[in-house]
Amino acid sequence: MSLVTDSPVHSSSSDDLASYLDAHLASGSTGSSGSSADDETDDESDHESERIKRHKAENLEIPEEPEGSTSREYSEQIVDSEQSVETTINQDSCSHPGSFGGMCMRCGKSLEEKSGVTFGYIHKGLWLANDEIARLRKTDMKNLLRYKKLYLILDLDHTLLNSTALTHISTEEEHLRGKVDSREDISKGSLFVLEHMHTMTKLRPFVRTFLKEASEMFEMYIYTMGDRSYAQEMAKLLDPKREYFHERVISRDDGTQRHQKGLDVVLGQESYVLILDDTEQAWTKHKDNLILMERYHYFASSCQQFGFSCRSLSEMETDENESDGALATVFGVLKRIHTIFFHELEDELAGRDVRQVLKTLRKEVLEGCKIIFSRVFPTQFPASHHQLWKMAEQLGAKCTVDLDDSVTHVVATDAGTEKSRWAVKEKKSLVHPRWIEASYYFWKRQPEESFSVDQKASS
């Protein structure tokens, strides 16, 4: 078990939690109950308690750093938890903040009926009570805000990278086998083969810069629907020196709901969390935190899986652009949100909500546009439920079904419809639906002439 981070300036509730747990575990092996919370780690616990003591001593000696360091809170918290275990622990009065293997980590009582959440990615068999989670979130929030950091949850597939089974590599992709990067220095490469998983993985352009710079502004988590071993392997490729994620790698094995991702397993308060993911349906409860990413399809199998018949980036021997690709674009947005949150909002820091900032910023993109759709949706389909309608409204456009002179844009795929012809006659913008999508993903109103309907219809 190695949970305590060595970085004194690192602020994370899960890191703090780790030290807290270590303190509890260490005391458990010498405490009045005499029983360790985890039989298998008896030896380790002793060893661990030595290390913790050392760590505590080190922490307590660290003077307050000028740029602000969490070390003080960090050591205070360890001292707090130490004090709490030095008092006699009564099973009846214990609040049972959490458990390992079914036993309360504070008093040792066997806990069967419990309300709370499992945090297996922090420690196998760890469960925390709701009150304890709330407490940790609050502590962490204060730390993070002091360092002007928010939380960022990152999806893996199609957001930060693209993977394919080796057996699915197409004939046109064979050239890739000669271009695979060595795993000797992972931080220099972007195309890897993981033989034992029969997988080839391509990192999205700009991802290394993205992680490095975003880590200055955010406490980052990986959250994938892949299984734990896949998540860990990908984390090694993205973060070979374990600088960014530490133990904050959440896989589908750690979620509380099937086919859904949830912030319940994240130790950050929802109002300070942003999510980057290409799959909106994974986050039905947290749409307001989500920045939807344009999918990164590098491999042919990925295109096929999503029903595209075009050639993949790998087959065309090209890639997304480093400097203005999806990750570079979204990085600019994150930076803007961060600046607004910490430097432009005037209300009290603790009351700020990053979801509100995200919403406001997005609404600026198509501000002032009034859109009418022409035969874009199936006839019986309620227009306002359509993804494009919702996207346009999120971007600040007004959508309507009534054609009048206040309409600025007609969105259509066919230049021959009545409304399309009206647009041309009245000198309104006639654009392809992709104009909305592109504006959405690029966070910028796209030039209408690049999305003209004639051109798209004939291509």
Nearer residue to Mg ion within complex by CB, 239 or 294 = 294
For Mg ion, which residue of 157, 239, 294, 315 counts as binding (CB under 5 A)?
157
Query: Backbone phi, then psi, for 304, in 5-degree steps?
Result: -60, -45
Alpha carbon distance, N-terminus to C-terminus of the chain: 58
Partner from Zn ion, Mg ion, none contacting 158, C-beta within 5 to 8 A by type: Mg ion
Q: For Mg ion, which stretch binds (CB under 5 A), given 22-30, 255-263, 274-282, 386-394? A: 274-282
Q: For Mg ion, which stretch binds (CB under 5 A), given 8-16, 258-266, 279-287, 350-358? A: 279-287
Q: How many residues lie near Zn ion (CB under 5 A)?
A: 6
* Residue 154 · residue 289 · CB < 8 Å: no
Partner from Zn ion, Mg ion, none contacting 155, C-beta within 5 to 8 A by type: Mg ion
Question: From CA 335, how far away is CA 354, in angstroms rounded?
Answer: 12
Give the contact letters, 89-108, x = binds to Zn ion (CB under 5 A), - = no: -----x-x-------x-xx-
For Mg ion, which residue of 22, 140, 155, 294 counts as binding (CB under 5 A)?
155
The single-letter code of the amino acid at 92 is D
Nearer residue to Mg ion within complex by CB, 48 or 239 = 239
Q: How many residues lie near Mg ion (CB under 5 A)?
A: 5
Nearer residue to Mg ion within complex by CB, 155 or 294 = 155
CA dihedral 313, 317, 320, 323 (to 10 degrees): 180
Query: Backbone phi, then psi, for 31, in 5-degree steps?
Result: -75, 180
Nearer residue to Zn ion within complex by CB, 96 or 456 = 96
Tell me if 128 contacts Zn ion by CB under 5 A: no
For Mg ion, which residue of 15, 278, 294, 315 counts as binding (CB under 5 A)?
278
- Residue given tokens 């999510």 in the structure block: 275
* Residue 340 · residue 362 · CB < 8 Å: no
Rounded to the nearest whole angstrom, what is the least distance from the CB of residue 158 to Mg ion in the complex? 4
Rounded to the nearest whole angstrom, what is the least distance from the CB of residue 286 to Mg ion in the complex? 15
Rounded to the nearest whole angstrom, what is the least distance from the CB of residue 50 to Zn ion in the complex? 25
Give the single-character DSSP code of 242.
-
Rounded to the nearest whole angstrom, what is the least distance from the CB of residue 34 to Zn ion in the complex? 15
Give the contact letters, 220-239, x = binds to Zn ion (CB under 5 A), - = no: --------------------
For 344-367, give one letter per residue: b (16+ CB within 10 A) or e.
Answer: eeeeeeeebbbbebbeeebeebbe
Tell me if 158 contacts Mg ion by CB under 5 A: yes
Give the single-character DSSP code of 225.
S
Rounded to the nearest whole angstrom, what is the least distance from the CB of residue 25 to Zn ion in the complex? 14
Nearer residue to Zn ion within complex by CB, 129 or 372 = 129
- If we measure between CA atoms, which residue out of 380, 384, 401 comes closest to residue 393? 384
* Residue 293 · residue 156 · CB < 8 Å: no
Reading across the β-sheet that carries 116-118, which strands appear in turn? 103-104, 98-100, 126-129, 116-118
Rounded to the nearest whole angstrom, what is the least distance from the CB of residue 362 to Mg ion in the complex? 20
Structure tokens at 382: 């309620």
**DSSP per residue, 250-268:** E-GGG-SSTT---GGGSSS
| Angle at the Cα of 433 from the Cα atoms of 431 and 439, rounded to 5 degrees | 90
**DSSP per residue, 320-358:** --TTTSHHHHHHHHHHHHHHIIIII--S-GGG--HHHHH
Give the contact letters, 379-418, x = binds to Mg ion (CB under 5 A), - = no: ----------------------------------------
Partner from Zn ion, Mg ion, none contacting 106, C-beta within 5 to 8 A by type: Zn ion
Nearer residue to Zn ion within complex by CB, 92 or 405 = 92
Rounded to the nearest whole angstrom, what is the least distance from the CB of residue 134 to Zn ion in the complex? 17
DSSP 3-state assignment of 165? strand
Tell me if 294 contacts Mg ion by CB under 5 A: no
Where does this chain bind Zn ion (CB under 5 A)? 94, 96, 104, 106-107, 109
**Residues near Mg ion, by CB under 5 A:** 155, 157-158, 278-279
